[in-house]
Amino acid sequence: MDYTSHSKEDRELILGKVGLSSIKDLIDRVLPEKFQLNRALDIPEGISEYQLAEEFKKLADKNIPAAESLCFLGGGAYDHYIPAAVSHILSRSEFYTAYTPYQAEVAQGTLQTIYEFQTMICRLMGMDAANASHYDGASALAEAVLLSVRKKKRSAVVVPAGLNPMYLKVLETYCRPAGIEIRKLHSDDGRIDPEEIKKYADGAAAVVIQHPNFFGLLEPVTEAAVAAHEAGALVVSSTYPLSLALLKPPGEWGADIATAEGQPFGAPLSLGGPYVGLFAVKKTLIRSMPGRLVARTKDRLNRDGYVLTLQTREQHIRREKATSNICTNEALVALGALVYLSLVGGDGLKKAAENSYRSAHYLAEKLNEIPNISLHYKGEFFNEFVIDLPVSAVDVQDKLADKNIFAGPPLGKWWGNMGNSMLIAVTEKHSREDLDIFVEEVRKCESLKGSEGASKKVIK
């Protein structure tokens, strides 16, 4: 965008029209003295555009792209393969310049892609209706909890021990000012105990179930959903969407609201975003669903047409009456997910899930064979698992990073008693050779060599 400045003469002319002689006079007229800084800003002298570009380049060069590394990052964002056609299609100007589709007659293409995205998410989740997306998986989960509170007229929510800790932070931010109590379940083996839900869910609006959970473990979802419903609570699921190619979808095991982070479907890691939140509900909750919803209809000539529907005016002009104060969607990233799913199809999605599952179990087995390393949990997992190291997981992560290997996040950041534990994620991009390299580099870490005689921990 061009930058056009006013000349000295322009400024004098404008100020003269309002009877002022300087910018300082203008500021004094609109801003009381006590709120004025009255000193120079403590910032460096300006530099040229070329110098600024070079400075930004130096900063950018400090980042190593996941695509150029051996990447085992996970915990909510994953290094999956993205077909080349995804970025090609998203680069078309009719998509990346499209604005909010309020005027259906001039936005049929955008509305159709959103409708098709919603349809795919419904089929994937086993739900009746999906919205046009949320900002990310965390905000989608928080909106699902708020929906439950409104619907049930209760002010508490139950969350599992294996909930993504970053999602929990977002949920706390939403719930605290609204006076919503968050009841946290306990766990020794990393999984939900349905019997504990019965104790905590009394009077709660919702029970949140993350499946697979943050540790990669598969939860007893059917039993947990039954316990939640018996307590009169809605069931809110948060899931890793690729797993649904192999696992039973939330709508079939008892979820009333299904959410997910859609990043695995065609979005790169990109230092944390932009991502896309998936959100779907059962039919009884459609009119309470937040966000934007596109529907298909017929015009007077009996032609298919697409329109925004079931979105109240309050979401735009009366915030205190709104079902949600987010009445937009991540249209371009959602389109990327639609393109990705269209390209890989059901069979391709299943193959990616199977490869991720098999490779993760192979890597877990090989790491567990190292004398001073063990799996933290015994339960079945999908493509992520936790390993216990004899030293700080941060130290091991740093040593592997020096060799251009991105290990998973150390868990001591969120759980003080898991400073030596690390979460490892495996995707379909990892070959057997990649996995063997990772095992060998972990084995060679200098910080681990002094612990070769350490006894293995008992798997929980």
The pLDDT tens digits of the residues spanning 324-339 come to 777 788 999 999 999 9
pLDDT, tens digit, 9 for 90 and up, residues 68-96: 899 999 999 999 999 999 999 999 988 88
Q: Is the pLDDT of residue 457 over 60?
A: no
CA atoms of 238 and 258, how far apart (whole Å) = 6
Amino acid 319: pLDDT = 66
User: pLDDT digits over 114-132, tens only?
Assistant: 999 999 999 999 999 999 9
pTM of the model: 0.88
CATH number corresponding to 66-76+345-449: 3.90.1150.10
First to last CA, the chain: 58
User: Contact at 8 Å (CB) between 422 and 389?
Assistant: yes
Average pLDDT in the chain:
92
Residue in this structure with the two tokens 């697979």, named with its chain if needed: 212
Q: Give the single-character DSSP code of 44.
A: P
pLDDT digits (tens, 9 = 90+) for 345-361: 999 999 999 999 999 99
Q: Is 159 helix (H, G, I), strand (E, B) or coil?
A: strand
For 170-202, what is each residue's pLDDT tens digit? 999 999 999 999 999 999 899 999 999 999 999
The distance between the two most distant Cα atoms of the chain, rounded to a whole number of Å, is 85
Question: What is the pLDDT averaged over residues 402-428?
Answer: 96
Q: What are the DSSP E strand ranges found in 138-256?
A: 156-159, 181-184, 206-210, 234-239
What is the fold of 84-339?
A: Aspartate Aminotransferase; domain 2 (3.40.640)
Give me the residue label for tokens 């910032």. Answer: 43
- Every domain of the chain and the residues it spans: 10-43, 66-76+345-449, 84-339
The pLDDT of residue 439: 97
Q: Evaluate if residue 447 carries a pLDDT over 80.
A: no
